[in-house]
Amino acid sequence: MTFISDTDFDTAQAELHAAGVTDGLPVVPPTEARIAAILAYSGFDPAEVITALPPGFGEATWRDIAVNAVMAGCLPEHLAVVGAAVEALAAPEFNLIGIATTTGSATPIAIVNGPVAARIGMNAGGNALGPGNRANAAIGRAISLCLRNIGEAKPGEMDMATLGQPAKYGCCFAENEAESPWAALHVERGFAATDSVVTVVGISGTVEVVDSMSSTGAGLAQTFAQSMLIAGNRGSHGLFGGGEPLVIVPPEMARAFAGDGFSKDDVKAAIFDNAVLPLERLAPTVREHLVSVRKDAGDADPTSPLRVAAKAADVMIVVAGGVGVKGVYAPTWSGGTRAVSRKLRGPGKL
């Protein structure tokens, strides 16, 4: 929906809200002038269809994406990031149909890597997951609005979340590549360091991980691992979460790991080895059901402990944040999802 004029801001808000295209908060009225300006910056063809966005499989054109980006408060230079995220969301392995329609709290989180993050002023440091940065906030919100207005994932209609979570308003941050001792996420996933890339992850929430006492990599890995054993996040496939957990490590912790000789792969392996929960820790009926499912699937040992991933390489590690030893564990959706990365594309000033 577009408006010729936004001279009457209150009327525009009321009409947009009544049309069901907002997230409940005030939005920037998507006037034709604003839409044209955001498209002109990058030179995108307004009619080009980027993808069909689940769960409603609405066609996501650059104009559609631009409308939602304008409403979210994006600047023109943010549009390419939003577009790459929307394209990634539609990948089958991300399973947006499940994430967008579940009664669970799953929602996409977007991680930005490469030169674009600094160019558009994204926050990769202190409070990277919180408020205060326009690029982080607006891009994250635009992705959420696209999911709602193009993908048709509206609460009570297709979005059936029992409780939801605050990140459903939008969550986007940049990796703190400058302060990381390891290769960045997008490089690890096969892109060049000079590429600008967005990675989307379907998360069920966040858990703060604090360890101000451990001085060894093994100790820090154990703290992260034990913080990931959440019985209520058990997936139907016999792993915690979606089997591809996201661990966000602040620079101070990352330096402690590296100073003790831990590569990123070493950290993944140490977390994987320590994040183990004996089935005896589960409620009896939950345990019995899991063993039954495993037997039906032909598992060699249906009573083996629960793990956070099928293999150590599936643990995702991203360095972000500012001063302090407070990390984050973000369990991926237990219904099954895989992270997807897409490189920014398009002509113009990217």
Query: pLDDT per residue over 106-126, tens digit each?
Result: 999 999 999 999 999 999 999
Helix (H) or strand (E) holding 94: none
Q: pLDDT at position 348, please?
A: 45
Which tokens hold the place of 63? 């104009």
Task: Quick: pLDDT tens for 4-62.
Answer: 466 689 999 999 999 999 999 999 999 999 999 999 998 999 999 999 999 999 999 99
Measured in whole angstroms, how far is the alpha carbon of residue 98 from the centre of its chain?
15
Per the domain annotation, does 134 fall within a domain?
yes
Report the C-alpha gap between 346 and 84 in whole angstroms: 10
Per the domain annotation, does 62 fall within a domain?
yes
How many domains is the chain built from? Answer: 1
Three-class secondary structure of residue 200 per DSSP: strand
Which tokens hold the place of 213? 């006492």
Whole-Å CA distances, 344 to 79, 88, 140, 271, 341: 10, 11, 16, 32, 10
Q: List Cβ neighbours of 198 (8 Å cut-off, separation of 6 or more).
A: 81, 84, 85, 88, 110, 111, 112, 113, 341, 342, 344
Per the domain annotation, does 350 fall within a domain?
no
Q: pLDDT at position 238, please?
A: 73
Which tokens hold the place of 30? 């998507």
Per the domain annotation, does 277 fall within a domain?
yes
Per the domain annotation, does 1 fall within a domain?
no
Per the domain annotation, does 23 fall within a domain?
yes
- Spans in the chain with pLDDT lower than 70: 1-7, 236-237, 347-350
Mean pLDDT of the chain: 95
Per the domain annotation, does 2 fall within a domain?
no
Domain span at residue 110 reads 9-343
Phi, psi of 328 (to 5 degrees): -140, 135
Task: Assess contact for 222 and 232: CB atoms under 8 A.
Answer: no
Helix ranges restricted to H, the chain: 9-18, 32-42, 62-72, 79-89, 96-101, 115-119, 134-149, 185-188, 217-226, 251-259, 264-274, 284-296
Edge-first strand listing for the sheet containing 246-249: 207-210, 326-330, 246-249, 316-319
Per the domain annotation, does 267 fall within a domain?
yes
